[in-house]
Structure 1
Amino acid sequence: MNSPLLSEASVRDLVFSWFAALDRRDEIDSLTPFFAPNGLEMQFPEGVVSGLEGLRNWYSEVTGTFFDQKHEIRDITVSAEGRTAAAVDVIVHWYARTWQPPAAKSKSIAAEATQHWVVVAGTDGRPVVKDYRVVSLEPLSSPA
């Protein structure tokens, strides 16, 4: 049986859907289908996350730390369209707020994240992320 082929449109849709779900703070069970059930690895500035359980723990931590998140996708480059795996480069502007008690006010964060993903065809043929790396996170001059 042949593996399903990835299209650029389906991979781009995955990228937009993932960041929209993050901004809405969707429940983790609705986010895990974006990722490969086996062999997932994610690298963030704060460390490496492995597997869906690692994803769950990471998501719980970031949703407890950051609020009012907004992700603005600036660029998506998909390589190897029509194959069973694709390299995806994403540039996204990330805006969020944090609060550390007993501070009187929250703090704004604004950064440009350059990311590299490896996307594969899932068991149902839809693309899923197998490898997710934040390559760089550079501060932006002013929050949105």
Structure 2
Amino acid sequence: MTTLTRISEAEVRQLVTDWFVKLDVHAPVEEMLPLLAPENLEMQLPEVTLHGLDEFRSWYDGVIHIFFDEVHTMQSLDINTASQQAEVQLVVRWEASRWNAPAANSERLAFDAAQRWVIKRSPDTQNLVISTYIVDALTPLEGFPNL
């Protein structure tokens, strides 16, 4: 049996940063998947709950074709590490543009997204992975449209 290394706060911060940078640049799904738990992944998003990497892959392919010029800016980040997992509460400001055909122009969106994550260490790679990702609230900023 493999002994997993204790999870550090610095590692968690790096994973959170990497996740949002990759979302901003619409990284290929092959770069996103290693950040997610290969087993028992659950993602509760405003529009859908995803289970597993295949459902994430389909969802991601859809959203990168809807939203563009994305920027994620961390507003708050609280990390609670235990030996084998970390619990994260964060608020990220998400700004993006979208175009709904046949509109003449795109529209800019801006939200504060309150989220809770559970992060574990992969027994296969020893890298940190997101196993639970819950969006508790998606609050539009004043003057911006809702989803």
**Aligned length in residues:** 142
The equivalent of 1:73 in structure 2 is 74
Q: Deviations over 1:26-84 (max 9, x none)?
A: 10001100011100000101010110001101101110111111100111111124x11
Question: Which amino acid in structure 1 is aligned with residue 115 of structure 2?
Answer: Q
Question: Which amino acid in structure 2 is aligned with residue 39 of structure 1?
Answer: N
Q: Once the 2 structures are TM-superposed, how far is the Cα of residue 122 of structure 1 from its aligned partner?
A: 1.2
The equivalent of 1:50 in structure 2 is 51
CA distance in 2, matches of 1:132, 1:125: 20
CA distance in 1, matches of 2:81, 2:21: 25
Alpha-carbon contact 1:114-1:137 (below 8 Å) kept: yes
Per the normalisation by structure 2, the TM-score is 0.93
Q: Once the 2 structures are TM-superposed, how far is the Cα of residue 142 of structure 1 from its aligned partner?
A: 4.8
CA distance in 1, matches of 2:143, 2:38: 38
CA distance in 2, matches of 1:16, 1:142: 27
Alpha-carbon contact 1:36-1:130 (below 8 Å) kept: yes
The equivalent of 1:8 in structure 2 is 9
Q: Once the 2 structures are TM-superposed, how far is the Cα of residue 2 of structure 1 from its aligned partner?
A: 2.1
CA distance in 2, matches of 1:101, 1:38: 37
The equivalent of 2:85 in structure 1 is 85
The equivalent of 2:106 in structure 1 is 106
The equivalent of 2:140 in structure 1 is 139
Q: Once the 2 structures are TM-superposed, how far is the Cα of residue 127 of structure 1 from its aligned partner?
A: 1.1
Q: 1:94 to 1:25 in 2, by over 3 A?
A: same
Q: Which runs of 5+ in 1 are unaligned?
A: none
CA distance in 2, matches of 1:48, 1:101: 26
Question: Which amino acid in structure 2 is aligned with residue 2 of structure 1?
Answer: T
Relative to structure 2, which stretch is displaced further, 45-54 or 1-10? 1-10
Q: Secondary structure of 2:101's match?
A: coil
Alpha-carbon contact 1:10-1:126 (below 8 Å) kept: no
Moved beyond 3 Å, runs of 4+: none
Per the normalisation by structure 1, the TM-score is 0.94
Relative to structure 2, which stretch is displaced further, 117-126 or 132-141? 117-126
Q: RMSD of the alignment, in Å?
A: 1.1
Alpha-carbon contact 1:28-1:56 (below 8 Å) kept: yes
CA distance in 2, matches of 1:31, 1:66: 17
